[in-house]
Amino acid sequence: MTFSIAVAGCTGYAGGEVLRLLLGHPEVSIGALTAGSNAGSRLGAHHQNLIPLADREVLDTTPQNLAGHDVVFLALPHGASAVVAAQLGDDTLVIDCGADFRLSDPEQWKKFYGTEHAGTWPYGLPELPGQREVLSSTRRIAVPGCYPTTATLSLLPALVHGLIDGHDVTVAAASGTSGAGKGLKPHLLGTELFNSMSAYGVGGGHRHVPEILQNLARLGAVDPSVSFTPMLAPMSRGILAVCTAPIGDHTPDEVQQAYADTYRDEPFCTTLPQGSWPASKSVLGGNGFLVQATVDEAAGRLVAVGTLDNLTKGTAGGAIQSMNLALGLPETTGLTAIGVAP
Catalytic residue positions?
146
Angle at 330 between CA 324 and CA 335, to 5 degrees: 70
Sign of CA dihedral 89, 146, 274, 157: negative
Q: Is the peptide bond before 234 cis (omega within 30 degrees of 0)?
A: no
Helices (H), 41-141: 63-66, 81-85, 106-113, 131-135
Cα–Cα nearest to 338, from 309, 315, 310, 300: 309
Give the residue among 134, 204, 201, 135 at the shortest CA–CA distance from 174: 201
Q: Give me the residues paired with residue 268 across strands.
A: none
Q: How many CB atoms lie within 10 A of CB 273?
A: 9
Under 8 Å between Cβ of 284 and 311: no
Name the nearest CA neighbour of 317 among 157, 150, 173.
Answer: 150
The torsion angles phi and psi of 79, rounded to 5 degrees, stand at 95, -10
DSSP class of 201: S
DSSP 8-state secondary structure symbol assigned to residue 324: H
Query: Sheet of 140-142: strands edge to edge?
Result: 59-60, 28-35, 3-8, 71-74, 93-96, 140-142
